[in-house]
Structure 1
Amino acid sequence: MKNIFIQGPVQSGFIADSIQKHSAKKDIGAHSIFLGQVRADVIGDKTVAAIDYTTYTEMALEKMHEIREDIFSRYSLNCMHVYHSLGEVKAGEICLFVFTSSKHRKIAIEACEELVERVKAELPVWGKEIFEDASHTWKVNG
């Protein structure tokens, strides 16, 4: 099972390198990319400065493997990549990188969209919102 977790934010150089590596694959006609970024939400009278992500790794990787197999069985994809941050990610930084590739754009886009929704809904990853005053609360996905 591939480890999808990265400590800290997903760096722009990592994203660019991942995309560049696919230029040698001549049977790909489309990529769809989703980048999840930590927002500086205002909750009550406090502003989110960062999110501290945690997971139960073994369970999360097993679930990701199930999701991956299901997506590959239903979409004609050449490649699928998911990277999720663990640890602290500051507002404005990337915490989720999802990348699908196929011969045709519609397939890549639809697979990427479903993959993002399933990662958000099914992976046991939790985020603790850290406010500018250092207080915190557990994030509730909407």
Structure 2
Amino acid sequence: MIKKIKNIFIEGAIPPLFIADSIAKHATKKNIGAHSIFLGQIREDVVDGKTVKAIEYSAYEAMALEKMQEIREELFSKYELSCMHVHHSIGVVNAGEICLFVFTSSKHRNIAMEACNEIVEHVKAELQIWGKEIFNDQSHQWKINS
């Protein structure tokens, strides 16, 4: 059986109502005892005296989605998760807006929290997603993850 690969990409910032709706949809799932949520937000960093006003994300989408599917399968086999949702922005996301939304659910909090943290680390280290920092003066540079 071929599994359908889930699209994790959202054009622009991830809206707060999308996040709230995702949480609300889980109220009917009575076997869940814990959720863990990570929200990545664009910082207004100052780099070499210039202020970051936005990050423009691009990706090798097919490769990133295939890798995310591998990560999903690995973590579902490692942890007793009820649900796992990952959403990442593509395009321009302004400082203060959300660019990454990771949401895990399980019967127990430690499992949900550990899995959520591990997913974030995999996404940052392994997915073919790049960010270009856009500064207030309209100059830009590729972001280096720390």
Partner of residue 109, structure 2: 105
The aligned amino acid for 1:127 is G
Tell me, yes or no, if structure 1 residue 63 matches structure 2 residue 45: no
Give the structure-1-normalised TM-score: 1.00
Shift of 1:70: 0.4
Alignment of 1:13-24 (within 5 A): 13-24=17-28
Partner of residue 56, structure 2: 52
Partner of residue 43, structure 2: 39
RMSD after superposition: 0.3
The aligned amino acid for 2:131 is G
Partner of residue 86, structure 2: 82
Shift of 1:80: 0.1
How many residues align structurally?
142
Moved over 2 A (4+): none
**Cα distance in 1, alignment partners of residues 119 and 25 from structure 2:** 21
Shift of 1:139: 0.2
The aligned amino acid for 1:22 is H
Partner of residue 10, structure 2: 6
User: Where does the alignment leave 5 or more consecutive residues of structure 2 unmatched?
Assistant: none
Q: Alignment identity in percent?
A: 69
Query: 1:6-60: per-residue Cα shift (whole Å, max 9, x none)?
Result: 0000000000000000000000000000000000000011000000000011000
Shift of 1:101: 0.0
Partner SS for 1:100: strand
The aligned amino acid for 1:62 is E
**Cα distance in 2, alignment partners of residues 115 and 60 from structure 1:** 14
User: Where does the alignment leave 5 or more consecutive residues of structure 1 unmatched?
Assistant: none
**Cα distance in 2, alignment partners of residues 6 and 113 from structure 1:** 21
Shift of 1:98: 0.1
**Cα distance in 1, alignment partners of residues 48 and 104 from structure 2:** 37
Partner of residue 91, structure 1: 95
The aligned amino acid for 2:77 is S
**Cα distance in 1, alignment partners of residues 49 and 98 from structure 2:** 24
